[in-house]
Structure 1
Amino acid sequence: MSATLTSSVEDPIHTRPSRLRGLDGLRGLAVIAVVVFHLWPGVLPGGFIGVSVFFTLSGFLITRGLLAEIDRSSTFGLRSFWSRRLRRLWPASAATLAVIVIVWLACGWMSHAISLDVFASFLQVANWRFLASGKAYGLTELSPVAHFWSLAIEEQLYLVVPLLLWCTRRRAGAVAAVFIALIAVSLADTFLHAGDAPVVYYSTVTRAAELAAGGLLAVVIHHLRPEAARRRLGGRTGGPARWSFGVAGAAAILALAWLTRTTSLGTEIYYRGGLSALALLSVIAILGAVESPPLARLLSLRTLTWLGAISYGIYLIHWPIHVALTHTGLPDWLQPWLTLALTLVIAPLSLRFYEDPIRHGTIDLRRFAPVAIALSAIILIGSTIGLFVQSDSAIDFDAAVASLNQRDLDGAESGAGSSQAPIGTPEHPARVAMFGDSTAVMLSMGLGFEEPAIRTMFG
């Protein structure tokens, strides 16, 4: 693949990247998996796979856009690329963090650990913060920004990958080599840390293969599409190729769906190369959605594409809403449904009246600058204050321990009384904390899977 990354001016597909509704639908399926995983983990214990699909989709779409820009101007500007990413991602994430800080401080839920989590999320290094603290595998409290780890990985790669592509001087072979090298380094690091769940799950290096696989697919499609080779791909021109791509893509989507139901965070193979292998299924699914009109039409169902269009907002806000509701005392069965309802109301409103106007330039950046400064100040000052406060939950726990008398402890030690002690009531079910690594995660997920009445929460 030594050709330059340019195409004939007669090829309209490359002069301007159109929105692919099939990919919106695929994004919608991915966000459904993630939200169900967070709200009803016993239903889709492997719903975290949706994040892997997001990684590969992002790699494909970002690279596709860069290649289209090269076609238009024979190069691409790093400053303009990063400016577009900033417009697209920062306003919503900053607003989410600011609201979290305000609510958590006002309600007395802020703690030293959560303040550090917010700082790391604002600086786009949340994954390294959680990795260093063992956050996902030894939580003492739920963090409202636990999901920011994946956004941090994407942002870090958005800084590095375009710079590497810019250095290739538009040579298709060199661009492909960049992605192949990223995949190789990522796989090597994964196997170096095989079985180390926190590292494999959170490290930018180990997860880079999933994004790079999408980028490599974009390069391959871009290189093969022009002229006669475009017919070999089936490109929306008819023929058996589109059916083969459609069947393969549908099979990959079904395989991913099956894995969301039958595997969990405790599945050991994911930490021995399995997460990287998911990228292969995602690549096949993306290829089918792009190159097979029948599959693209199936994925273009209005509900799926609508969810895909607001997926970023859904991902950002559903988790902090969910965590906030756990503090309210509302019935456990009601909390996830209320989370879902609030998310589906707020996310589209945010997209229409806040995110899109900034992204498309309706709101000038100079007008938005005071808002950006205010959001940043709230996040930084509020988080700093949070470093010096103790959450009510921690105070209550300490008080409960202090209230235990020796008789209570003796009874627990000797097993006095009934052999089956009543635990909780239907109105106020007991909550049990379990601490540990991936073994504890696997046990809690298994309990939720076998008995839906058992509601598990983790981060």
Structure 2
Amino acid sequence: MTSKRIMDIEVLRAIAVLGVLFHHLQGSLFTDPVPLLEQIHGWAQPWWGVDLFFAISGFVIARSLIPTLQGCTTRQEYWQETRNFWLRRAFRLLPSAWLWLALMLLACVFLNRSGAFGTLAANLQATLAGVLQYANFRFADSFFHYEYGSSFVYWSLALEEQFYLLFPLLILLFRRNLVWALLALVAVQILTVRTPLLMVVRTDALALGVLLAMWSVQPSYQRWQPTFLRRPWAGISALIAIGLLLSFMATDRFTFASYRIGSIAVLSAVLVWIASYNRDYLMPAGTVQRLLAWVGSRSYGIYLIHIPAYQLVRELIFRLQNAGLPSPAGHPIVTLLLAFGLIVLLSELNYRFIEMPMRNRGAALVKRLGTSRTAVPSSGATSC
């Protein structure tokens, strides 16, 4: 299975993270009500970007991991490949995650005159939850009960890390029945009312992404290719229509609230299905695609950085106001530009100096471990 980057997948990553950024504007960047934002949120909520991320993760991980693990001929080889997968994921995700946990904690101590970063006690507990990968359970427990801390977005990262840890074991446990196990997982969740706890362990979008990856190697997958989207503007129109539908379903105006998350998971999987053919159905090649692909490639860092960036801008505005200096307070557009500029700068630095170097180190470590195991004695040596 090819590991080549799919441009439409990068476009979806960009849309997902931009939706999350927009969703967190009210409350994280703007503490006072912004009438326009309130009006938009009444008709469209973009928090479904998290579920789109889940569907993408399930597809991208499974399309390479399942063939690799199913191709193992011995139990030892299976666990070696599982170890390699876990190492690559750890080097890819944990350095950036831990860095921004530490920076948020430092900001809470040294850059928090306004209180934008929350209390030290809450952030200490949130940092521990982020490092130990139980942030989703803490998030559910704190929901409308107590302050979580600045790193509340880590709940979804914890859920994905738990998925990465358990998925190889799931493949080993169910083997040829994996499809049925995943379908059952999706069906049960779609038919279940989501409590706060069930919301932070929702895996239907992840499972649908995995199922899509498994289907992509079957002959029927090509027969179902949506070739009609090659027509001019057809793919973009489909992307906009599905995005608007998802945004409406995420609001309280959607009357079938019990089936909201399951429906969002299914539509997210539909977008990933269209993107998976790597035919630029959703966004034709051009300037817009390249711009969105840049955002998509930095989406992990953007997701980690946007909340501390919002809070840092709030702290800056507070200090400027107290010093009697001109500030962006009362000018939402200027505040937005300042926050987004900071996010772009910090995410690019994070990508260049943390994400890519650590990803390469992880790949190099896996390669060294593989080389050491496959090394053979020289021709003059005798075997024991």
State the Cα deviation string for residues 238-287 of structure 1 (Å, max 9, x = none).
xxx52269899656532342146545554565751211111211122112
Contact 2:19 2:48 in 1 (8 A): yes
Contact 2:20 2:47 in 1 (8 A): yes
Structure 2 length as normaliser, TM-score? 0.76
In structure 2, relative to structure 1, the CA distance for the partners of 1:177 and 1:260 (3 Å cut) is closer
State the Cα deviation string for residues 22-45 of structure 1 (Å, max 9, x = none).
111111111111112222654455
Q: What residue is the counterpart of 2:284 in the other structure?
A: 298
Contact 2:274 2:281 in 1 (8 A): yes
Match of 2:158 among 122, 135, 152: 152
SS of equivalent to 1:29: helix
1:126 correspondence with 2:129: no
Length, aligned pairs only: 328
Contact 2:126 2:135 in 1 (8 A): yes
Contact 1:37 1:47 in 2 (8 A): yes
| Aligned counterparts of 1:231 and 1:26: Cα–Cα separation in 2 | 21
1:90 correspondence with 2:94: yes
Contact 1:33 1:260 in 2 (8 A): no
Q: For residue 219 of structure 1, report the CA deviation from its aligned partner.
A: 0.8
Q: Determine which structure has more spread, i.e. the larger CA radius of gyration.
A: 1
Q: For residue 220 of structure 1, report the CA deviation from its aligned partner.
A: 1.0
Q: For residue 87 of structure 1, report the CA deviation from its aligned partner.
A: 1.0
Q: What residue is the counterpart of 1:277 in the other structure?
A: 263
| Aligned counterparts of 2:292 and 2:217: Cα–Cα separation in 1 | 26
Contact 1:49 1:260 in 2 (8 A): yes
| Aligned counterparts of 2:107 and 2:188: Cα–Cα separation in 1 | 41
Q: What residue is the counterpart of 1:37 in the other structure?
A: 23
- The one-letter code sitting in structure 2 at the alignment partner of 1:67 is I
| Aligned counterparts of 1:25 and 1:146: Cα–Cα separation in 2 | 25
- The gaps in structure 2 that reach 5 residues or longer are 27-36, 319-326, 367-384
In structure 2, relative to structure 1, the CA distance for the partners of 1:364 and 1:284 (3 Å cut) is closer
Q: For residue 19 of structure 1, report the CA deviation from its aligned partner.
A: 1.4
State the Cα deviation string for residues 366-399 of structure 1 (Å, max 9, x = none).
9xxxxxxxxxxxxxxxxxxxxxxxxxxxxxxxxx
| Aligned counterparts of 2:235 and 2:270: Cα–Cα separation in 1 | 5
Contact 2:137 2:197 in 1 (8 A): no
1:201 correspondence with 2:189: no
Q: For residue 359 of structure 1, report the CA deviation from its aligned partner.
A: 0.6
Q: For residue 199 of structure 1, report the CA deviation from its aligned partner.
A: 3.5
Q: For residue 52 of structure 1, report the CA deviation from its aligned partner.
A: 1.0
- The one-letter code sitting in structure 2 at the alignment partner of 1:221 is S
| Aligned counterparts of 1:248 and 1:159: Cα–Cα separation in 2 | 39
Q: What residue is the counterpart of 2:376 in the other structure?
A: none
Q: What residue is the counterpart of 1:78 in the other structure?
A: 82
Contact 1:30 1:50 in 2 (8 A): yes
Q: What residue is the counterpart of 2:223 in the other structure?
A: 232
State the Cα deviation string for residues 175-217 of structure 1 (Å, max 9, x = none).
21231122133335x33x4xx4x34433x0xx11111011111
Q: What residue is the counterpart of 2:66 in the other structure?
A: 67
Q: What residue is the counterpart of 1:163 in the other structure?
A: 169
| Aligned counterparts of 2:213 and 2:93: Cα–Cα separation in 1 | 22
- The one-letter code sitting in structure 2 at the alignment partner of 1:146 is F
| Aligned counterparts of 2:230 and 2:273: Cα–Cα separation in 1 | 7
Q: What residue is the counterpart of 1:215 in the other structure?
A: 210
Contact 1:358 1:365 in 2 (8 A): no
Q: For residue 70 of structure 1, report the CA deviation from its aligned partner.
A: 4.2
- The one-letter code sitting in structure 2 at the alignment partner of 1:316 is L
| Aligned counterparts of 1:244 and 1:363: Cα–Cα separation in 2 | 37
Give me the identity figure in percent: 30
Contact 1:120 1:129 in 2 (8 A): yes
State the Cα deviation string for residues 272-312 of structure 1 (Å, max 9, x = none).
12111112111221121122625155277100111100000
Between stretches 145-154 and 34-43, larger displacement belongs to: 34-43
Q: For residue 357 of structure 1, report the CA deviation from its aligned partner.
A: 1.2
| Aligned counterparts of 1:27 and 1:116: Cα–Cα separation in 2 | 29
| Aligned counterparts of 2:212 and 2:49: Cα–Cα separation in 1 | 19
Q: What residue is the counterpart of 1:21 in the other structure?
A: 7
| Aligned counterparts of 2:251 and 2:125: Cα–Cα separation in 1 | 25
Q: What residue is the counterpart of 2:306 in the other structure?
A: 318
Match of 2:228 among 228, 234, 243: 243
| Aligned counterparts of 1:219 and 1:185: Cα–Cα separation in 2 | 20
1:352 correspondence with 2:352: yes
| Aligned counterparts of 1:231 and 1:120: Cα–Cα separation in 2 | 43
State the Cα deviation string for residues 329-354 of structure 1 (Å, max 9, x = none).
15152433222111101112211222
The alignment yields a C-alpha RMSD, in angstroms, of 3.0
SS of equivalent to 2:24: helix
Q: What residue is the counterpart of 2:244 in the other structure?
A: 258
Q: For residue 21 of structure 1, report the CA deviation from its aligned partner.
A: 1.3
Between stretches 175-184 and 68-77, larger displacement belongs to: 68-77
SS of equivalent to 1:293: coil
SS of equivalent to 1:361: helix
